[in-house]
Amino acid sequence: MLIGLNIRNVVLIESLDLGIGPGLTALTGETGAGKSIILDALGLATGARADAGLVRRGAAQASVTAMFDLAPSHTVWSMLDDKGLGYAPGEELILRRLLGADGRSRAFVNDQATSVGVLKDLGNLLLEVHGQHETVGLLDARNHRPLLDQFGDCGAALNACGRTWETWRMARQRLETLRDQTQKAAQDLDMLTLRLEELDRLAPKAGEETQLAAQRALLGASEKALTEIAAAREAFSGESLTQKLAQAFRAVERARERAVQAGASPDSPAVTRLTTAAATIDRALVEAQEAAAAIDLAAEAFDFEPDQLDKAEERLFALRAMARKLNVPVEGLPAARIEIAQTLAAVESADEALKAAAAEAEQARVLYRAAASDLTARRQQAGHALALAVEGELAPLKLDKARFRVAIEPLTAERAGPAGMDRIEFEVMTNPGAPFGGLGVIASGGELSRFALALKAALAGRADQAQPLMIFDEVDQGVGGAVADAVGLRLRKLAANTQVLVVTHSPQVAARANAHWRVAKAGDGDSVSTRLDILPEPEREEELARMLSGANVTEAARAAARALMG
């Protein structure tokens, strides 16, 4: 709900602070007094296009601040989240617009700088304007379906339709993906079969490249290694180390025996040292023999077949060539073989998979069509009820010759979607015998405003969400008496569920308002300004009398005003 409007230096308004309550507020005043300035100022605060001509003459800038008190569940708050604008729970929403004399403007939401586009997006959620030159939303057929669904309480059916649509969409996507994969695999069938045969003949093993590379390096070094081993063998051949060690062992043993025979004690230093020398030479002899055997074994390790290096290199080159063909590392060849085999198996079983996916998609399509058909039936029922309700409002508004209907036409399969298979448009027939057409066929702004009022009155009370402030600008144009009274009654009825502001020249309409504002010019020819007065009951009676009789207010007019206020 709009609770306040502060205007500074807008056209003829120097300074104006308005507090606005719930229900119906009437804005009256003589032609040219500046009633439209109030609406222009509100439009500025909610993102309307700015014109430097709105800045009061002599002022550097104009400013307008609109304050709203909204429920925590209002969609405005989620929009602020999307726009990255902060707010505190329970606080008011404050929209502010500054317009310089040079035509440049700045926008703020709760004192946070933002774009005029954000103000406009917020304004679309916060107010509707139905007037001589614009009827927000009603002329756009894209808004008719949500209005009808809201009127007909079609939310559950709409959600079911959306869910089944998404299921069908995903099933179609899976089927299409499977078809593409199968088609591509079928096109590559011969090539994949050839590659699998090559891999089966090659039989690559995990870690084989590393092993072959190491073997090739070893084989390449084997010739030089054998030469060195031969030199080591030579060191043990002929007057070899082992023979010399054996001779040394026997010589030391003879020396020890002679010393003992000569009477030396076994524990004497000479005998002990000879014994130690003999044992040491014996160990060296044993180790020399073991070393000679180890050299022979090492030589055997380098005893390769003559073509073994060629075979290792040939195998390594074959593995690397296949890896290049498949664009994988050599280590990836075993996995590539498994993948190719699985792909060929999938091609063989593709028909069964495609049949299963097609059956799933068809089942999802049937469920969607059933949900969409149910939604269509509910819309048709709601459309009939809405047409009766709107036509019931038309006659009292002097639109008795007009007819209203909700046109529901099936969409093509390509245009069906989560909101169903219906194209919905509100249509009118303005004169008997004329064809039905969109709301744009109503040429008169006053008629369009009254038609909007009839439609809004029919929709009143059926909304399950917060309603915006509705502004009707001279909805009573060209009517008077009982028709004007009917307009006032319907505005009052509409205001029971939302906030309504009406700019009117009709005393019958103004008399139905919960609050009455009067706009007037003040000052002389050199300095003219617009003044707005919130009228208490006595002054309100006088204003209604003026609207009834003109400049000369009579007692009869006052009596008629009291009667209107009832």
Residue 318 has pLDDT above 60, yes or no: yes
pLDDT on residue 383:
95
Residue 309 burial class via C-beta count within 10 angstroms: exposed 0-12, middle 13-18, buried 19 and up: middle
- Quote the mean pLDDT of the chain: 85
d(CA 547, CA 537): 15
Residue 308 has pLDDT above 90, yes or no: no
Looking at per-residue pLDDT, the higher value among 245 and 92 belongs to 92
Q: Tokens for 329, please give them.
A: 């590392």
**What's the pLDDT band for 216 if we cut at 50, 70, 90?**
confident
pLDDT on residue 444:
62
* Three-class DSSP labels, 491-544: HHHHCCCCCEEEECCCHHHHHCCCEEEEEEEEECCCCEEEEEEECCHHHHHHHH
**Cβ-contact 531, 521 below 8 angstroms:** yes
pLDDT on residue 467:
73
**What's the pLDDT band for 446 if we cut at 50, 70, 90?**
low
| Pick from 102-106, 155-159, 497-501: least confident | 497-501
**What's the pLDDT band for 443 if we cut at 50, 70, 90?**
low
pLDDT on residue 388:
93
pLDDT in tens, 451-508: 888 888 888 756 555 678 888 887 777 667 788 888 888 888 888 888 999 988 889 9
Percentage helix, strand, coil for the chain under 3-state DSSP, each rounded to 5: 55, 15, 25
**Cβ-contact 204, 211 below 8 angstroms:** no
Phi, psi of 195 (to 5 degrees): -65, -40
- 52's CB contacts (< 8 A; 6+ apart) are 99, 100, 101, 102, 103
- Amino acid making up residue 276: T
The mean pLDDT of 554-561, rounded to a whole number, is: 87
Q: Is this model's pTM higher than 0.75 or not?
A: no
The mean pLDDT of 129-145, rounded to a whole number, is: 71
Q: What percent of the chain has pLDDT over 90?
A: 30
The mean pLDDT of 510-537, rounded to a whole number, is: 84
Q: Tokens for 481, please give them.
A: 């008496």
Residue 305 has pLDDT above 60, yes or no: no
d(CA 152, CA 155): 8
| Pick from 226-230, 309-313, 557-561: least confident | 226-230
pLDDT on residue 437:
86
pLDDT in tens, 33-81: 677 888 889 999 999 888 888 999 889 999 999 999 998 888 899 999 9
Cα distances from 413 to residues 44, 422, 429, in angstroms, run: 43, 10, 30
Rg (CA), the chain: 50
**Cβ-contact 241, 288 below 8 angstroms:** yes
Could you say which DSSP state residue 396 is in? Answer: G
